[in-house]
């Protein structure tokens, strides 16, 4: 169990009544039921646990390397993480850990573990139960990066945080839940990634020379050019309308085309959480298709961004990158 920081790791100080960072030494006193589980648990944390708003690619790499290094020594990994950027971390880990055959379950909470009404207790206990679950062949039930929150288990690269108030903080509109927890945990085996036939591989390169351009009615030429002219920019996520549509102003299309011809990789991801990009369906996306903008299809924004960072880090040729981006690598998109 690895603790990175976040709301789940807060406990109330008996003297000051203020919230303080979580201490693993007090885990069993906070949730004594953990001691009754049929497993041995080792715990560790970042040297300096952080608010998940401060999560960066170097933290993703540290987590991935730690899992890879300890892979042969543990049956599963549970990561305690703040909910704000959990979808980014779970997506990034899915790309960094190739041929993953063991559970990597991320969880957190909307209320600190020391609060009486906290969702932390259930989220953590069920995450552990899922992590140690085996199928009929004695293999891990969920051999992939997943997120457990409020009775639902989601694929890690398919989620999006939808609420800061509800305990049901995440949704996965484009892919079914992997499992649902009630009196029993019901696993939807047909939608869980199969066990890999190859050994785990650690990918260690991420390129953060990327930017996001969100389209909106009335966006100015100065705004677009400011984003496109960022120094050393290698990749751009274009957050388009609906099924991949964007303004058809000549200056906008010309600016994008010039940058693509100069080597910029542009991927088209819809601002909508459900559905996806179908370039060329409408006239408003035909120009993007013709100039070589890549289609994110039904990928989530978080997975689309981290996948771009991962593939740019691999230093692929333009044709290889296009093929890889538009291919389902870890269950992150629905291959047409």
Looking only at the bridges linking them, the beta strands covering 265-270 and 201-202 are unpaired
190 and 161 within one domain: yes
7 is catalytic: yes
The beta strands (E) that lie in 150-255 are given as 152-155, 160-161, 170-171, 179-181, 185-187, 201-202, 210-214, 235-240
pLDDT tens for the chain, 336 residues long, are 999 988 777 666 667 766 555 555 555 567 778 878 889 999 888 888 888 889 999 999 999 999 999 999 999 999 999 999 999 999 999 999 999 999 999 999 888 877 778 888 899 999 999 999 999 999 999 999 999 998 999 999 999 998 887 777 889 999 999 999 999 999 999 999 999 999 999 999 999 999 999 999 999 999 999 999 999 999 999 999 999 999 999 999 999 999 999 999 999 999 999 999 999 898 889 999 999 999 999 999 999 999 999 999 999 999 999 999 999 999 999 976
Rounded to 5, what percent of the chain is helix, strand, coil?
Answer: 35, 20, 45
Which residue is listed with tokens 């966006």?
219
Distance, CA of 239 to CA of 267 (rounded, Å) = 9
Q: Is residue 332 part of a domain?
A: no
* End-of-domain residue from the set 186, 202, 218: 202
The total number of structural domains in the chain stands at 2
Task: Kindly report the pTM of this predicted structure.
Answer: 0.94
Please tell me the predicted confidence (pLDDT) of residue 31: 79
* End-of-domain residue from the set 153, 169, 202: 202
216 and 197 within one domain: no
Please tell me the predicted confidence (pLDDT) of residue 38: 87
What is the domain range of residue 185? Answer: 2-202
Q: Is residue 177 part of a domain?
A: yes
Q: Is residue 53 part of a domain?
A: yes
41 and 168 within one domain: yes
85 and 175 within one domain: yes
The residue annotated as part of the active site, out of 7, 85, 89, 306, is 7
Q: Is residue 330 part of a domain?
A: no
* End-of-domain residue from the set 178, 202, 226: 202
- What does the longest C-alpha to C-alpha distance in the chain come to? 65
Tell me 50's DSSP state: -
Which residue is listed with tokens 């055959």?
101
215 and 190 within one domain: no
């Amino acid at each position: 169990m690895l603790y990175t920081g976040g709301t789940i790791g807060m406990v109330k100080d008996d003297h000051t009544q203020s919230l303080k960072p979580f201490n693993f030494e007090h885990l069993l006193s906070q949730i004594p039921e953990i001691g009754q589980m049929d497993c041995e648990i080792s715990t560790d944390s970042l040297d300096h646990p952080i608010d998940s708003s401060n999560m960066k690619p170097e933290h993703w790499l540290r987590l991935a390397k730690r899992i890879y290094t300890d892979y042969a020594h543990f049956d599963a990994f549970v990561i305690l993480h703040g909910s704000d950027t959990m979808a980014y971390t779970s997506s990034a880990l899915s790309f960094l850990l190739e041929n993953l055959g063991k559970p990597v379950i991320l969880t957190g909470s909307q209320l600190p573990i020391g609060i009486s009404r906290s969702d932390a207790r259930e989220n953590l206990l069920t995450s552990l139960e899922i992590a140690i679950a085996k199928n009929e062949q004695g293999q891990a039930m969920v051999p992939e990066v997943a997120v457990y929150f409020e009775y639902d288990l989601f694929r890690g690269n398919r989620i999006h945080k939808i609420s800061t108030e509800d305990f049901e903080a995440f949704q996965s509109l484009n892919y079914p839940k992997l499992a649902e927890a009630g009196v029993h945990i019901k696993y939807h085996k047909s939608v869980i990634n199969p066990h890999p036939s190859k050994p785990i591989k650690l990918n260690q390169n991420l390129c953060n020379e990327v930017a996001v351009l969100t389209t909106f009615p009335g966006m100015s030429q100065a705004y677009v050019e400011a984003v496109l002219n960022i120094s050393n920019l290698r990749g751009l996520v274009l957050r388009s309308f609906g099924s991949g549509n964007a303004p058809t102003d000549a200056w906008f299309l010309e600016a994008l085309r010039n940058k693509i011809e100069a080597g910029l990789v542009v991927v088209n991801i819809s601002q909508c959480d459900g559905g996806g990009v179908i370039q060329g369906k409408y006239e408003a996306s035909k120009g993007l298709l013709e100039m070589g903008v890549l289609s994110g299809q039904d990928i989530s924004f978080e997975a689309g961004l981290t996948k771009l960072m991962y593939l740019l880090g691999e230093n692929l040729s333009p044709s290889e990158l296009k093929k890889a981006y538009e291919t389902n690598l870890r269950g992150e998109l629905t291959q047409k």
